[in-house]
Chain A
Amino acid sequence: MRTSRTLWLLAFVVALVALLAVACGDDDGDGNGGEATATPQDVEPTAAEPFDVANVPGVTDTEITLGTHQPLSNHPAQVFSRIAAVTEAYFDFINETQGGVHGRKINVIVKDDQYTPSITNTVIRELVEQDGVFAILSGLGTATHLTVVDYLLDRGVPDMFMSTGSVEWVKDPAARPNVFGAIPNYTAEGMILAQYISDTYPAGTKLGIIFQNDEFGLDGVVGIKRALSDDIEIVAEESYEVTDPDINSQIDLTRSAGSDVVIIYALPSHVPSAVRHARQDLDWDVPFVITGISANEITINLAGEGVMEGTVSVSIFHQVSEVEHPGIIAHLELLADYTDGFGANFLTIYGQYIGELMVETLERAGPELTREGLIAAAESITDFVCSVCLFSVNLSATDHDSAQTVSLSQVVDNQFVNFGDLISWEGVLPGDLTLDDLVTSPAE
């Protein structure tokens, strides 16, 4: 027993001595070895200093390195895993045809976070501290991205065009100047869907709501309640957890509550089986209204032929069904030339939109690329319409919400088709948004 105690004492003394030595050594070495230990903030060039590409993490004279966290495994991967691959394909296209942006080729490191926040934490630090990326592009998922958003702010890393419509990010650009949204925020979307229900169905209609019990679902419900006419009665509000395998019992509950219309705020992993359960198991022909997150061709295919028919949602892009549209034609060519033969769907279009938006931002940031410059460039974007978009991106120092215009869409012959006017709330942040702010304009 005595030896063991001596051992620990020895270990402790050694530790103490080493700590002192190291601490002093570092102090001395700060003058010459400071660069190796300096954090990225320390080496950001200030306005007064001349531009030196060596001081900007992730940027060289020939390359820009971006990073992102995406679910490539675990259950949402079946739906979401191709978004980043299409963004990469678009960058490959730009690199090959235009030699990149301002002579720099764009390179994205895609890290799999398995849609699990504890892993997102690790991969984002790996991207920032080990791979030294210039910016994070379109990190996907609300709960996952939440865990890193403050870290990115703390480290001064631009958090560009994230793939979540959570209200939290974009409601206060002053508090989070490095964060930019990419998709309509869920509250605005909920208001537009509720307005559609109020306009379409007669007074006395009973509405059932099914929502994911997190920020995604709750933001949507806030929007629904804000815009729903008094003539429509909410008879059921059923929540589920993202870890639940399906939401069939929530469908049963909304049915037994006597719903005439059901609105679903759920991920594409839950919506198809829910609609199929209603149609095929219950033989219930209730109209469904779903969040734009789930409004894509994968959902239709997973549900099965004809099952999703008539379902209403929102869209910010031209649909794959518009085969004559030049943007869609170009998109199909991109998929054919730069991917392993991906089939086009709403999410591949989304991947291209992220790529186009980022390229536009980099173009505006100019050849002297810095992180501050990138954020300023993004804030300067006005009237930018991507090749597949229905809307124009307008950003400013007080508005970091990129997509503020949607169209309604509906499943017709197993494809989503846009219908009606464009509905826009340009420049209004989700916290203040009311029905009066929604402006309609005819679609082209």
Chain B
Amino acid sequence: MAAALLRPRTLGFALLAVVLVIFPYLHGWPVFSAFISEFRTFNATMLAVWLLVVLSMNLLTGYSGQISLGHAAVVLVGAYTAGVLVDQLGVPLPLAILLAGVFTGIAGGVIIGLPAVRLAGPYLAIATFSLVITLPQILKMGGIRNWTNPSRGISIDAVQPPGLVDGFLDERQWLYYITMATAVFMTILAWNLVRSRIGRAFVALRDSEIAAEQMGINVPLYKALAFGISSFYAGIAGGLYFMVLAFVHPESLGFLDSILFLVAIVVGGLATILGSIFGAFFLTFQGELIDELATIIPEAEKLRGVIYGSLLIVVMILFPRGMAGFVQDLVRTLGRITAARRHGGLSSNPPAQDDTNGESDAQGR
């Protein structure tokens, strides 16, 4: 037991938990305040939101192999559902976020999932892309205008911490904790999901629909389910997005965001949870990174589209399993070197690998 506690993996998770908990206070501490500003708390909060978005994309595209270019629209539906529930019906915000997830999940499963049964590959990508183009127009339609308020958008007062923790936390720290807690919880859920029967069925679907059918997997059901679960995640992410920014507008998320989500899952690593985390980091910091790049290469910030595109190509060629695959390979190689040294050069006994976690399923498609 004690040995188990001291395993690097355990220590790693413990350290991660501590960092996540103390993070919003770091900017006030003597040494850390030199390089962490208050703004990083907002960064970390958005990182949690983007993590759910990337997970949602990854469940759909990475695990079940269905390409969606319209994911920004699905997230926007979640954000708008939460917004309308709070603004028009006076639903408490946490409940509104949950309902947004459920509503988006059902809508995604039925409205996109069922037609997706008949569409594959590029056709599905085009069909989902149309979502992100049409959604702003739908939100501006006469019948629902009074609810969606498309010209001004829906805004609410910033969330205040409840009385119990008021004084310990300011509103930004409180937002960070609830968003990050939700993201961590749902990441664990996703981790378990992809190792369950359902997750296995998704992977089988992706690798070959015909083979999956032969093995007794109900293809239409699981395709719709993939969209349903993915949309649920996107809906929750949308609800949190609305909560964090206290604002939503028909143009809050558009097709550029959709493309960025796709770049994020490829750069992070398809079909891995670790890859989703890297993808979320990419989404959060890419803007700043490119601004930094512009201080070295003049006008680099004007070539954002070019940078995204070339990054996509470079990653696909050099690291088909994304940053996650790269890191895993690195860890594995290092492990092998240490093991070889320990066994006096005998590499016949490589360290046990955690292949039960399905990370090696990634084909980098």
Q: Is A214 an interface residue (CB 8 A)?
A: yes
> A215 and B256: CB pair below 8 A?
no
> A74 and B304: CB pair below 8 A?
yes
Mark contacts of B248-268 with chain A using CB atoms, 8 A cut-off: 1 yes-contact digit, 0 otherwise. 011111111100000000000
Residue of A nearest to B26 (CB): A22
Q: Is A241 an interface residue (CB 8 A)?
A: yes
Q: Could you say which residues of chain A place their CB within 8 Å of the CB of B305?
A: 73-74
Q: How far is the CA of A6 from the CA of B7 in the complex (A)?
A: 12
Of the residues A117, A123, A214, contact of B287 by C-beta under 8 Å: A123
CB distance from A144 to the nearest CB of B (A): 8
Q: Please report whether the interface of chain B is mostly helix, strand, loop or mixed according to DSSP.
A: helix
Tell me the chain B residues, 1-36 only, with Cβ under 8 Å from chain A.
1, 4-5, 9-10, 13-14, 16-18, 20-22, 25, 27-29, 33
> B153 and A146: CB pair below 8 A?
yes
With A72-B301, A73-B302, A154-B158 known as contacts, the answer to whether A8 contacts B188 (CB < 8 A) is yes
With A26-B28, A146-B152, A242-B251 known as contacts, the answer to whether A7 contacts B304 (CB < 8 A) is no
Residue of A nearest to B169 (CB): A23
Could you write out 6 A-B pairs with CB less than 8 Å apart?
A15-B18, A25-B25, A72-B302, A114-B256, A214-B251, A243-B254
> B168 and A112: CB pair below 8 A?
no
CB distance from A341 to the nearest CB of B (A): 15
> B14 and A23: CB pair below 8 A?
no
Q: How far is the CA of A26 from the CA of B25 in the complex (A)?
A: 8
Of the residues A29, A37, A241, contact of B27 by C-beta under 8 Å: A37
Name the residue among B37, B249, B250 with the largest chain A CB count within 10 angstroms. B249
With A10-B5, A10-B14, A154-B158 known as contacts, the answer to whether A117 contacts B251 (CB < 8 A) is yes
Q: How far is the CA of A215 from the CA of B10 in the complex (A)?
A: 53
Q: How far is the CA of A14 from the CA of B37 in the complex (A)?
A: 25
Residue of B nearest to A27 (CB): B168
CB distance from A302 to the nearest CB of B (A): 18
Q: Could you say which residues of chain B place their CB within 8 Å of the CB of A7?
A: 9-10, 13
Tell me the chain A residues, 23-56 only, with Cβ under 8 Å from chain B.
23, 25-27, 29, 33, 36-37, 39
Q: Could you say which residues of chain B place their CB within 8 Å of the CB of A439?
A: none
> B17 and A116: CB pair below 8 A?
no
A-B pairs, top 3 by smallest CB distance, nearest first, are: A129-B39, A130-B39, A37-B28
Residue of B nearest to A116 (CB): B256
> A22 and B14: CB pair below 8 A?
no
> B27 and A112: CB pair below 8 A?
no
CB distance from B265 to the nearest CB of A (A): 17
Q: How far is the CA of A222 from the CA of B55 in the complex (A)?
A: 43
Stretch at the interface among B132-140, B214-222, B343-351: B132-140
> A33 and B4: CB pair below 8 A?
no
Q: Is A94 an interface residue (CB 8 A)?
A: no
Q: Is A433 an interface residue (CB 8 A)?
A: no
Q: How far is the CA of A143 from the CA of B150 in the complex (A)?
A: 10
Q: How far is the CA of A388 from the CA of B152 in the complex (A)?
A: 33
Q: Is A336 an interface residue (CB 8 A)?
A: no
> B249 and A117: CB pair below 8 A?
yes
Q: How far is the CA of A39 from the CA of B165 in the complex (A)?
A: 18
Q: Could you say which residues of chain B place their CB within 8 Å of the CB of A235?
A: none
CB distance from A279 to the nearest CB of B (A): 28
> A122 and B46: CB pair below 8 A?
yes
Q: Could you say which residues of chain A place their CB within 8 Å of the CB of B152?
A: 146, 168, 215
Mark contacts of B275-302 with chain A using CB atoms, 8 A cut-off: 1 yes-contact digit, 0 otherwise. 0000000000001100100000000011
> B251 and A18: CB pair below 8 A?
no
Q: Could you say which residues of chain A place their CB within 8 Å of the CB of B253?
A: 117-118
Q: Is B303 an interface residue (CB 8 A)?
A: yes
Q: Could you say which residues of chain B place their CB within 8 Å of the CB of A29?
A: 28
Q: How many residues of chain B have a CB within 8 Å of chain A?
A: 61
Q: Could you say which residues of chain A place their CB within 8 Å of the CB of B257?
A: 116, 118
Q: Could you say which residues of chain B place their CB within 8 Å of the CB of A214?
A: 140, 150-151, 250-251
Q: Is A381 an interface residue (CB 8 A)?
A: no
> A112 and B247: CB pair below 8 A?
no
Q: How far is the CA of A19 from the CA of B180 in the complex (A)?
A: 13
Q: Is B245 an interface residue (CB 8 A)?
A: yes
Q: How far is the CA of A305 from the CA of B39 in the complex (A)?
A: 48
Q: Is B143 an interface residue (CB 8 A)?
A: no
> B137 and A213: CB pair below 8 A?
yes
Sample of 14 further A-B pairs with CB below 8 A, known A73-B301, A125-B39, A147-B153? A11-B13, A14-B17, A15-B20, A26-B28, A36-B29, A39-B38, A72-B302, A81-B302, A118-B253, A122-B46, A146-B247, A150-B246, A151-B247, A242-B251
Q: Is A428 an interface residue (CB 8 A)?
A: no
Q: Is B42 an interface residue (CB 8 A)?
A: yes
Residue of A nearest to B72 (CB): A118
Q: Is B213 an interface residue (CB 8 A)?
A: no
Q: Could you say which residues of chain A place their CB within 8 Å of the CB of B153?
A: 146-147
Mark contacts of A269-293 with chain B using CB atoms, 8 A cut-off: 1 yes-contact digit, 0 otherwise. 0000000000000000000000000
With A14-B17, A73-B303, A114-B256 known as contacts, the answer to whether A146 contacts B291 (CB < 8 A) is no
Q: Is A126 an interface residue (CB 8 A)?
A: yes
Q: How far is the CA of A29 from the CA of B28 in the complex (A)?
A: 10
Mark contacts of B141-153 with chain A using CB atoms, 8 A cut-off: 1 yes-contact digit, 0 otherwise. 0000000001111
Q: Could you say which residues of chain B place their CB within 8 Å of the CB of A200?
A: none
Q: How far is the CA of A125 from the CA of B140 in the complex (A)?
A: 28
Residue of A nearest to B45 (CB): A125
Q: Could you say which residues of chain B place their CB within 8 Å of the CB of A15?
A: 17-18, 20-21
Tell me the chain B residues, 292-349 only, with Cβ under 8 Å from chain A.
301-305
Q: Is A218 an interface residue (CB 8 A)?
A: yes
Q: Is B182 an interface residue (CB 8 A)?
A: no
Name the residue among B133, B170, B249, B251 with the largest chain A CB count within 10 angstroms. B251
Of the residues B4, B25, B188, contact of A22 by C-beta under 8 Å: B25
With A14-B14, A18-B17, A241-B137 known as contacts, the answer to whether A146 contacts B39 (CB < 8 A) is no
CB distance from B79 to the nearest CB of A (A): 10
With A22-B21, A129-B37, A215-B152 known as contacts, the answer to whether A117 contacts B252 (CB < 8 A) is yes
